[in-house]
A and B are shown apart, each in its own frame.
Chain A
Amino acid sequence: MRRCRSSPPARTTSMAHFLARRLLLQFVVFAGVLVLTFLISHVVPGDPALLRAGPKASAETIAKIRHDMGLDRPLPTQLAVYVRELLRGDLGTSIRTQRPVITDIAEHFPATFELTTISLLVVVAVGIPLGVLSAVRKDRLPDHLSRVVAISGVSLPVFWLGLLLIYIFFVRLGWLPGTGRLDMGVDPPPPLTGLYLVDSIAARDWEALRSSVRHLLLPVFLLSYVSLAPVVRMVRSSMLEVLGQDYIRTARAKGLAERLVVYRHALRNALIPTLTVIGLSYGTLLQGAVVTETIFAWPGMAYYAVGSMTYLDYPAVMGITLVSALIYTTVNLIVDLLYGGVDPRIRYD
Chain B
Amino acid sequence: MRVFGWMRAVVPVVVVLLAAPLPAGSAQATPQDVLIFGSTSDVETMDPQVTVDNIAWRAIYYCYDRLVQLKGSTTEVAPQLAESWTISPDGKTFTFRLRRGVKFTDGTPLDAKAVQFSFTRLLKMGKGAAGLWDGILDASGITVVNPTTIRFTLKTPFAPFLGSLATDEASIVSPGVMKHETGGDLGQAWLAGNSAGSGPFRLKEWRRGERLVLERNPTYWGRKPALRQVIIRNIPDPAVLRDLLERGEVDMGETLTDDQLDALKGKPGITVFEAPSFLVTYLYLNNKNPYLSKVKVRQAISYAIDYAGIIRGVKKGRAVQMRGPIPQGMAGHDKTVFQYTRNVARARQLLAEAGYPQGFELSLLIDPGIREWADIATIVQANLAEVGIKVKIEGFARPTMRAKLDKADFDMATGFWTPDYPDADMFTWFWFYSKNGGLAGNRSFYVNPQMDRLVVAQRQETDPAKRLALFRQIQKIAVEDAVYVYLHQAIYRIPMRERVQGYVYNPMLLFMPNFNGISKRP
Contacts and interface: CB of A to CB of B under 8 A. Distances in A.
Interface size class of A (residues with CB under 8 A): 35 or more
Interface size class of B (residues with CB under 8 A): 35 or more
A96 B45 contact: yes
B210 interface: yes
Contact of B403 (A45, A55, A104, A214): A45
Given A61-B128, A217-B18, A97 B440 contact: no
B14 to A, nearest CB: 8
B209 A303 contact: yes
Interface in A288-324: 294-295, 297-300, 303-304, 307, 310-312
B263 interface: no
Given A99-B193, A180-B210, A184-B250, A58 B3 contact: no
Interface stretch (B373-381, B392-400, B470-478): B392-400
B242 to A, nearest CB: 10
Interface in A196-232: 213-214, 217
A58 B134 contact: yes
Interface string B221-247: 000000000010111110110011001
Interface string A167-179: 0011100111011
Interface stretch (A11-19, A24-32, A46-54, A76-84): A46-54
B31 to A, nearest CB: 8
Contact of A55 (B4, B52, B397): B52
A216 to B, nearest CB: 10
A146 to B, nearest CB: 12
A65 B436 CA distance: 17
Contact of A184 (B1, B233, B400): B233
B244 A51 contact: no
B131 interface: yes
A178 B243 contact: yes
Interface stretch (B22-30, B142-150, B513-521): B22-30
A22 to B, nearest CB: 34
B399 A98 contact: no
B17 A213 contact: yes
B215 interface: no
Nearest to B250: A184
B126 interface: yes
A52 B441 CA distance: 16
Nearest to A68: B126
A175 B233 contact: no
B45 to A, nearest CB: 5
Interface in B21-69: 21-22, 26-30, 36, 42, 44-45, 47, 50-53
B277 to A, nearest CB: 16
B249 interface: yes
A12 B361 CA distance: 74
A56 interface: yes
Contact of A310 (B22, B234, B397): B397
Contact of B402 (A46, A68, A98, A295): A46
Contacts of B135: 58
Contacts of A52: 127-128
Given A62-B439, A98-B192, A46 B400 contact: yes
Given A184-B250, A185-B27, A303-B209, A59 B440 contact: yes
Contact of B399 (A46, A166, A298, A307): A46
Contacts of A181: 210
A133 interface: yes
A98 B50 contact: yes
Given A166-B240, A179-B237, A56 B439 contact: yes
Given A51-B399, A183-B27, A217-B18, A178 B131 contact: no
A304 B3 contact: no
Contacts of B208: 97, 104, 107-108, 299, 304
Given A97-B44, A184-B250, A57 B399 contact: no
B372 interface: no
B188 interface: yes
A51 B399 CA distance: 7
Contacts of B42: 307
A52 B56 CA distance: 13
Nearest to A53: B128
B438 interface: yes
Which of A45, A65, A259, A311 is most buried by chain B, counting CB atoms within 10 A of its CB? Answer: A45
Given A185-B36, A297-B234, A98 B398 contact: no
Contacts of B209: 108, 111, 297-300, 303-304, 307
A119 interface: no
B243 A54 contact: no
B235 A179 contact: yes
A93 interface: yes
B345 to A, nearest CB: 37
Contacts of B50: 98
A263 interface: yes
B17 A184 contact: no
A29 B333 CA distance: 62
Given A58-B436, A100-B189, A185-B36, A294 B236 contact: yes
Nearest to B36: A184
Which of A52, A107, A111, A185 is most buried by chain B, counting CB atoms within 10 A of its CB? Answer: A185
Interface string B116-137: 0000000000111111001100
B204 to A, nearest CB: 11
Contacts of A50: 399, 402-403, 406, 439
Interface in A133-189: 133, 136, 166, 169-171, 174-176, 178-185, 188
Contacts of B189: 93, 98-100, 103
Nearest to A186: B27
Contacts of A111: 209
Contacts of B438: 59
Nearest to A98: B192
B7 interface: yes
B370 interface: no
A64 B47 CA distance: 18
A60 interface: yes
Contact of A57 (B36, B231, B235, B439): B439
Nearest to B132: A56
Nearest to A56: B441
A180 B131 contact: no
Contacts of A298: 209
A120 interface: no
Contacts of A183: 22, 27, 249
A132 interface: yes
A91 interface: no
B430 interface: yes
Given A53-B128, A56-B441, A185-B29, A178 B134 contact: no
A188 B213 CA distance: 11
Which of B1, B18, B399 is most buried by chain A, counting CB atoms within 10 A of its CB? Answer: B399
B420 interface: yes
21 contacts: A48-B399, A51-B399, A53-B131, A53-B439, A57-B131, A58-B135, A61-B127, A96-B45, A97-B44, A97-B208, A99-B193, A108-B208, A133-B1, A171-B239, A175-B19, A175-B21, A183-B249, A185-B29, A188-B207, A297-B236, A310-B399
Kindly list the 9 A-B residue pairs having the minimum CB-CB distance in the complex, ordered from nearest. A299-B209, A54-B52, A46-B399, A54-B128, A98-B192, A299-B210, A184-B249, A53-B128, A178-B240
Interface of B: 1-4, 7, 17-22, 26-30, 36, 42, 44-45, 47, 50-53, 126-131, 134-135, 188-189, 192-193, 207-211, 231, 233-237, 239-240, 243-244, 247, 249-250, 397-400, 402-403, 406, 417, 420, 430, 436, 438-441
